[in-house]
Amino acid sequence: MVTHLENQKETVLEREHTDLAPPPKYQVVLLNDDYTPMDFVVAVLRRVFHKTNAEAESIMLKVHHEGRGICGVYTRDIAATRVEMVRQLAVAHEHPLQCIMEPVSDL
């Protein structure tokens, strides 16, 4: 059944301009341990974070020497997904590799 409304009034709404802030970013960080092989860390960086071999080796050495290395900066959901992917790979290969995400401060 179709209903026709005869005396419809048009309403014009003024658009308010609102500035939307970009979503907050999170950095994904690998943490050093004394047991995970360096080759495995490089493989994880290449597979999960799509790093070149040179980039992966550089990050792996930073993790090894400084205790932590930033793998990338992402929105919250993507960062959480990457952290979980690293965790699953580490568990599957029986390595204690730890990966965390931290909010990036807007300095």
pLDDT tens-digit readout, 52-101: 999 999 999 999 999 999 999 999 999 999 999 999 999 999 999 999 99
Using one digit for the tens of pLDDT, what is the confidence trace for 7-17? 666 776 777 88
Domain boundaries, the chain: 37-103
Give this prediction's pTM.
0.80
Look up tokens 């400084």; give the residue. 66
- Among 43, 94, 48, residue whose Cα is nearest residue 71: 48
Distant-in-sequence, close-in-space partners of 32: CB < 8 Å, separation ≥ 6 = 63, 64, 66, 67, 68
Question: What is the second-level CATH architecture of the domain 37-103?
Answer: 2-Layer Sandwich (3.30)
The pLDDT value given to residue 47: 98
